Amino acid sequence: EVQLVESGGGLVQAGGSLRLSCAPSGFTFSSYEMNWVRQAPGKGLEWVSYISSSGSSIYYADSVKGRFTISRDNAKNSVYLQMNSLRADDTALYYCASGGRGSWYYWGQGTLVTVSS
Amino acid sequence: DIQMTQSPSSLSASVGDRVTITCQASQDISKYLNWYQQIPGKAPNLLIYDASNLETGVPSRFSGSGSGTDFTFTISSLQPEDIATYYCQQYDNLPPYTFGQGTKLEIK
């Protein structure tokens, strides 16, 4: 059974940092692109970041560029999102998602990040 | 970046109704359009990929069509369990991958 388990969310003050982790299982992690997608309370979905299967290609949404860093460790079957200089509008449920190119049939249940101002 | 305009933002329909949601891309994205269903409190679930292909296990009352800039998502006969928010998402070429604003579907 495929599972993606996110962790690392919590309450942080504006300007602070958090590191999210996603630990997939049930599929060959090293063969899959990984993404972070977030959803602010009561709002829609927003793609945040992408990392290729090897880690050689990385992309960010403009809203997080320069503040967030995605990485992965294929030996540990994990993908990470380092979030620095957090702002109130980063408050959201953060999902990791994977599957085909741009089409995500694997999703975690999300980890909640709350940034207090 | 490619912008996705989804309409309507909310929709109320009766059980058995045919429901249609549209999504327009700001530039040609060929067939690279997905539709997701998000039930409240749950993660999104991929229903349609490549504009018209039904994901495995998804009921056949769901369908998608379109190419280029204009796309349509249809539920042929609305069921009570279809109450959710539906999102289109483009994945043309490289990221950023953008979502539409979502359509909240309610039972009348």
Q: Does B86 touch chain A (CB under 8 A)?
A: no
Among A3, A95, A105, pick the best mutation site for testing chain B contact (most B Cβ within 10 A).
Answer: A105
Is pLDDT above 90 for A95? yes
Q: Does B46 touch chain A (CB under 8 A)?
A: yes
Q: How confident is the model at residue A30 (pLDDT cuts 50, 70, 90)?
A: very high
| Chain-chain contact of A47 with B96 (C-beta, under 8 angstroms) | yes
Query: Coil, helix or strand for B77?
Result: coil
Q: B63 φ, ψ to 5°?
A: -150, 160
List all residues 6 or more positions away from B15 whose beta carbon is below 8 Å from its beta carbon: B78, B79, B80, B107
| Chain-chain contact of B97 with A47 (C-beta, under 8 angstroms) | yes
Query: Coil, helix or strand for B40?
Result: coil
| Residue range B8-22, pLDDT digits in tens | 999 999 999 999 999
Is pLDDT above 90 for B94? no
Give chain B positions within 8 Å (CB) of A101: 91
Average pLDDT, chain A: 97
User: What does DSSP assign to residue A29?
Assistant: G
| Chain-chain contact of B44 with A109 (C-beta, under 8 angstroms) | no
- Asked whether B86 and B74 are in contact (CB, 8 A), the reply is no
Q: How confident is the model at residue B78 (pLDDT cuts 50, 70, 90)?
A: very high
Q: Does B28 touch chain A (CB under 8 A)?
A: no
